[in-house]
Amino acid sequence: MAATTSDEKLLGLWASPYTTRVQLALKLKSIEYEFIQENLQNKSELLLQTNPVHKKIPVFIHGDKPICESLIIIQYIDDTWTNGPSILPSDPYDRAMARFWAAYIDDKWFPLLKELGGAQGDEARASIVEKIFEGLVLLEEAFVKCSKGKALFGGDNVGYLDIALGCFLGWIKATEIMTGIKWLDETKIPGLVGWAERLCSDSSVKDVLPEAQKLVELYTMSAGLEKGVSN
Amino acid sequence: MAEELKLFRTWSSPYSLRVVHALKIKGLEYETIFEDLSSKSASLLQYNPVNKKVPVLVHNGKAICESLVILEYIDETWKQCPLLPRDPYEKAKARFWAKFGDEKLSSSIWNVLISQGKEQEEAIAAAVQNLKLIEEQLQEKKFFGGEKIGYLDIAFGWTANLISILEEIIDLKLVDEEKLPLLSAWMQNFSDDPVIKQCWPPRDKLVVKFQAMRESNLKTVLSQ
């Protein structure tokens, strides 16, 4: 094994929203780390060793400990680096809400965006588009409840749900460009539109989120991007 | 302040059972509301409008949904008999394997239930491979949580109950004492625990239910 220069390593892909999540968490906690860009067509030995079960990115390696699954990694970072700002809320009920909505995003909402990419025919597409908008309306309600009148899901500071949903903003904007559909429509989801603007201009976030145009170029170049990208 | 705890569940839902186990281990008093999922109550729809499912835990009027989220809420709110490990890395591993159990493992077990012949043989091979991965997490411990039942034991609890029912229905052994000795022992230890034992749904009813699921899924496949 090669000599390690850093105690913290992140195996990921610049374009993967799940990798972006971990990068956001690391930035929030001001943690220095080595980023190792994976090639999913030719997975590294390190990836296969550290995530033998799923063989997917992101994997966060802390010393000799590999942690997999983006939301689990974020919680690990929050539990381990306790002198920085907290990512999860402190109240158990608020934490439960954050976990619930993050699971909703991963299990129910984002799969719809992926499904849209593969949809055949206008009727199928229209049905998925409707479901995506319904999901956004639910997330709008979640934003109102969780933010409690403040700027972000986490209140004044970037928190768990800001990361869990915010990581998709590059792809949401890229999809707007490619489909012509305005997902971030202030007439439908004004709270979330305001949130997205504030989050994207936050100093901890703006250099970490991939640019929408770059994602469009990537998507048009390679059809099989989602292969091997984990939650 | 008097705590008000309500649990919306069904008689058989393994996810609901997780919450029952956690509440009992913590020694908490609660009211049970049994739901009929073919005719959901207005309360359930009010408390879980997004997924409309059980379990839902209502604590002093606030609803928490999704069994693993509920487990963490219970553990963070009531500090006696901790369920999750203290160490962040051990916690991360427990969460990882609970997710694996709910995703890869449960779908592979489901595939065994609803298949037959060669397809079933392949499904069994895949399920056993997943069970071996779970067994590796036990190492030489009595429970995944160590000496006592913890979060991961509760998360995997459905295997201790439902796998033997599946085995009875298909007349084949999935968790062989020789091939999976540690997991086999764990299932026995978990099932024998006095808190867990009193909560199992009636076995004969479960056999009937899963037999019916198998038959209706096989019929669907044959008619395609």
Q: What is the pLDDT of residues A135-156, one digit of tens each?
A: 999 999 999 999 999 999 999 9
A87 and A94 in contact (C-beta within 8 Å)?
A: no
Q: Which residue of A has its CA nearest to B75?
A: A92
Q: What is the pLDDT of residues A111-126, one digit of tens each?
A: 998 898 888 899 999 9
- Contact (CB<8Å) B66/A99: yes
Q: Which residue of B has its CA nearest to A141?
A: B50
Q: What is the pLDDT of residue A90?
A: 95
A100 in contact with chain B, both atoms CB, cutoff 8 A: yes
Q: What is the pLDDT of residue B1?
A: 52
- Contact (CB<8Å) A76/B91: yes
| Residue A4 pLDDT exceeds 50 | no
Of all residues in chain A, what percent carry a pLDDT higher than 90?
84
Distance from CA of B181 to the nearest CA of A (A): 21
Q: In what order do the strands lie in the sheet with A8-12?
A: A34-37, A8-12, A59-62, A65-68
Q: What is the pLDDT of residues A151-196, one digit of tens each?
A: 999 999 999 999 999 999 999 999 999 989 999 999 999 999 999 9
Size of interface A-B (CB pairs under 8 A): 55
> What whole-number distance in Å separates Cα of residue A96 and Cα of residue A153?
13
Q: What is the pLDDT of residues B199-208, one digit of tens each?
A: 999 999 999 9
Q: Which residue of A has its CA nearest to B66?
A: A100
Q: What is the pLDDT of residue B97?
A: 98
Q: What is the pLDDT of residues A212-228, one digit of tens each?
A: 999 999 988 876 555 55
> What whole-number distance in Å separates Cα of residue B168 and Cα of residue B94?
30
- What's the CA angle centered on B157, arms B39 and A94, to 5 degrees? 70
Interface predicted TM-score of the whole assembly (ipTM), two decimals: 0.94
Q: What is the pLDDT of residue A161?
A: 98
User: By C-alpha distance, which of A196, A176, A177 is closest to A186?
Assistant: A196
Confidence of residue A5 (pLDDT cuts 50, 70, 90): low
A76, A92, A93 ranked by CB distance to B92: nearest: A76
A65, A73, A99 ranked by CB distance to B69: nearest: A99
Q: What is the pLDDT of residue A224?
A: 55
A62, A76, A92 ranked by CB distance to B73: nearest: A92
A79 in contact with chain B, both atoms CB, cutoff 8 A: yes
Distance from CA of A221 to the nearest CA of B (A): 31
- Contact (CB<8Å) B50/A138: yes
A80, A96, A104 ranked by CB distance to B50: nearest: A104
Angle at which helices A212-221 and A169-179 cross, to 10°: 60
Q: What is the pLDDT of residues A59-88, one digit of tens each?
A: 999 999 999 999 999 999 999 999 878 999
Distance from CA of A187 to the nearest CA of B (A): 22
B148 in contact with chain A, both atoms CB, cutoff 8 A: no
End-to-end CA gap in chain B = 58
B62, B92, B96 ranked by CB distance to A93: nearest: B62
Q: What are phi and psi of B81, to 5 degrees?
A: 45, 65
Q: Which residues in B lie closer than 8 A to residue A73 (C-beta atoms)?
A: 92
Distance from CA of A216 to the nearest CA of B (A): 31
- To probe the interface with B, which of A31, A81, A99 has the most B CB atoms within 10 Å? A99
User: By C-alpha distance, which of A15, A7, A6 is closest to A226?
Assistant: A15
Q: Which residues in B lie closer than 8 A to residue A93 (C-beta atoms)?
A: 59, 62, 64, 73
> What whole-number distance in Å separates Cα of residue A100 and Cα of residue A109?
12
Tell me the residue ranges of DSSP E strands in chain A.
8-12, 34-37, 59-62, 65-68
Q: Which residues in A lie closer than 8 A to residue B59 (C-beta atoms)?
A: 93
B122 in contact with chain A, both atoms CB, cutoff 8 A: no
| Residue A1 pLDDT exceeds 50 | no
Distance from CA of A93 to the nearest CA of B (A): 7
A76, A96, A104 ranked by CB distance to B64: nearest: A96
Q: What is the pLDDT of residue B3?
A: 83
Q: What are phi and psi of A37, to 5 degrees?
A: -75, 125
- Contact (CB<8Å) A67/B50: no
Q: Which residues in A lie closer than 8 A to residue B77 (C-beta atoms)?
A: 92
Confidence of residue A2 (pLDDT cuts 50, 70, 90): very low
B180 and B135 in contact (C-beta within 8 Å)?
A: yes
| Residue A231 pLDDT exceeds 70 | no
Grouped pLDDT means (10 residues each) for chain B, 224 residues: 88 96 97 95 94 96 97 98 97 98 95 94 96 94 96 97 94 93 96 94 95 90 66
Please, what's the b/e burial string for A88-125 (b: 16 or more CB within 10 A of its CB; e: otherwise)? Answer: bbeebbbbbbbbbbbbbbbeebbebbeebeeeeeeeee
> What whole-number distance in Å separates Cα of residue A147 and Cα of residue B38?
35
Q: Residues in chain B, how many?
A: 224
- Contact (CB<8Å) B66/A100: yes
